[in-house]
Structure 1
């Protein structure tokens, strides 16, 4: 499996050339605050299976956690923690060129999910901006 992706401005591009071990939709407060979104999709891959072109900036959010993002546009891209996930990198799946390249396999950290999320599917939907 090959998955291509990158940041909003195009300065950082990546290729995943191996198996996606898990694809989680995370609801934790750290991810929510760092990404400004609920939930945040993370595709976990072996570090050796991820090739990155372009410069990223590191934000150490807690312990040995490193969140990498594009210095130009601020797009969140990668999450690494050797103590939690040795040899793995989590890639923000919203940055895949093809959003359907890999379907999420689980929802995690639901204890931190906002209560309204359970009813979000009941909100009116619009294919584009509403009239």
Structure 2
């Protein structure tokens, strides 16, 4: 499914546009997402690249691991993107994840699953019926 969406950070300094094939969307409970956001869970959408462009401003890049970088606004700190350093994620195609809550219309995409639930904070109760995976979950569809 192709999506065309816009979003940006809290202060408006960094804006982006998505015009890409949607791979999926989900909740991530990993410790890196928790610590990078200060929240118990982050909701992400994964798209096939190229299909994401910054339309104003420029993010700060933080290399959160050897495998990926996170991009956020230097002024307000809003986390916007998780970008794997390896190009092959969706059937050999490069992908990128962006935070659903940074969309202008965050209800446009709904999470489909939970990943890294082995790190879910015990006091967080999410009563949905979405599939849950202790690790990165099932393979991304090709």
TM-score for the superposition, normalised by structure 2: 0.78
Name the SS of the counterpart of 1:34 in structure 2: helix
Structure 1 partner of 2:96: 89
Structure 1 partner of 2:73: 70
Q: Is 1:115 matched with 2:122?
A: yes
Q: Take 2:7 and 2:122, find their aligned partners in 1: how far apart are those partners? A: 31
Alignment of 1:25-44 (within 5 A): 25-44=27-46
Q: CA RMSD in A?
A: 1.5
Contact 2:69 2:85 in 1 (8 A): no
Q: Take 2:16 and 2:60, find their aligned partners in 1: how far apart are those partners? A: 15
TM-score for the superposition, normalised by structure 1: 0.85
Q: Take 1:57 and 1:30, find their aligned partners in 2: how far apart are those partners? A: 17
Shift of the alpha carbon at 1:24? 1.2
1:84-131: per-residue Cα shift (whole Å, max 9, x none)?
Answer: 73611100111011111111111110000011113x66xxxxxxxxxx
Q: Flag as ranges the 4+ runs of structure 1 deviating above 6 A.
A: none
Q: Is 1:21 matched with 2:28?
A: no
Contact 2:14 2:59 in 1 (8 A): yes
Higher helix share: 1
How many residues end up aligned between the 2 structures? 120
Name the SS of the counterpart of 1:31 in structure 2: helix
Which is greater in Rg? 1
Structure 1 partner of 2:60: 57
